[in-house]
Amino acid sequence: MKIRFEKETFRFFYKQFSLFPIRILDDVPGSDLNYDLVLTYGYIDHEKGFCFEVLALCKSERNRSDDLSDEMSIVIPAEKVKDEEAEIVNDDELLKERYKDRIRILEENFEDKRLTEIRELPYLDDLRDEIYIDDVEVYLHKKEMDLEICHVRLESHEDGRFTGILLDEPDQDLGCHKGDTISFILQKISDGTWMALADMNN
């Protein structure tokens, strides 16, 4: 089954192997060998958003793949391929074993227990940025002022309260500024979805 990043949640691709057409690469090593697919692994960079690490170049008609060398790292941002059709690869365990060293390096560089737990919370998905998965929309509330929506980059979660870095400069004098750490809670609204609310009165 072929799917597109822009049509699905990031979970279809997160820590999964997927095949994209070779055209997603600007400069294809060994392009004269007629590769037509690239094998990738999806991960989240806290600052750069969802990315795909290229693991191998593939020839679909011969069911053959050639791994990139360990010294070569090609990273494809999801923004670049969000409207490309990709195929999720199902022989997961075989690939996990084959690329365990590459996956380990990605986990060491980009996985954090606090963030991993937050990424597993499905009720945040409606608030997340499509590409920058750790960034969510938060309503900032202060008495006698309008509710204002700003983006916050999630950092931690404990006892139902989230903390993160404010990514926008508020239009109003809410007592906080871009780059500040703020906290917020989630509230379920009438349509069954959730909203993030930061109380700026304290």
Q: What pLDDT score does 34 carry?
A: 78
pLDDT in tens, 78-101: 999 999 999 999 878 999 999 999
Domain boundaries, the chain: 2-111, 116-199
| DSSP one-letter code for 190 | T
Would the CA dihedral through 44, 70, 65, 91 be positive or negative?
negative
Q: What is the mean pLDDT of residues 156-183?
A: 94
What percent of the chain is predicted at pLDDT more than 70?
95
Contact 57, 68 (CB under 8 A): yes
Contact 123, 196 (CB under 8 A): no
pLDDT in tens, 106-119: 999 999 999 999 99
Q: How far apart are CA 100 and CA 36, in angstroms?
A: 24
Chain center to CA of 155? 14
Q: What pLDDT score does 61 carry?
A: 72
CA dihedral 67→108→126→167, nearest 10 degrees, is -120
Model-level pTM?
0.90
Q: How far apart are CA 181 and CA 55, in angstroms?
A: 36
Q: Which residue has the tokens 């010294």?
A: 71
Measure CA of the first residue to CA of the last residue in the chain; give whole Å.
Answer: 51
Say which range, 31-40, 143-152, 171-180, has the weakest mean pLDDT: 31-40
Tell me the pairing of strands 17-21 and 85-88: antiparallel
Q: Which residue has the tokens 């060398």?
A: 69
Q: How far apart are CA 179 and CA 74, in angstroms?
A: 30
